[in-house]
Structure 1
């Protein structure tokens, strides 16, 4: 069964797209999105493996595309 996103999860999904450095990796909404495979946490660069940022998965991108198909 498909799960509806909460307003906070939707806002967090948009933040991941527009300002990923502004989100705490311990944010519960980010964790929920990660469990739903909408977001993944990745290292910024191979030479900086300790610097982690959230990134949209293909599923996360698809949800945002449905909201703004243009």
Structure 2
């Protein structure tokens, strides 16, 4: 997985802009990903996680840890 030409809009809040810049730098360093269930990890070339995302369904009950993910019907 590669992200190229990451662009951001003008930031009016300086503190928020620093967080956004750090996030974009992490995205630019992604070499591959690992997806398991509802969790997505973006990893660097050394294999260490850079970013982690967890999907949640709006209006759906949360899955228990051992429950398999729901498949589309």
TM-score interval (norm. to shorter): under 0.3
What TM-score results when the alignment is normalised by the length of structure 1?
Answer: 0.25
Which one scores higher on RCO, CA 8 angstroms, separation ≥ 6? 1
More helix by share: 1
What TM-score results when the alignment is normalised by the length of structure 2?
Answer: 0.25
- Name which one, 1 or 2, has greater alpha-carbon Rg: 2
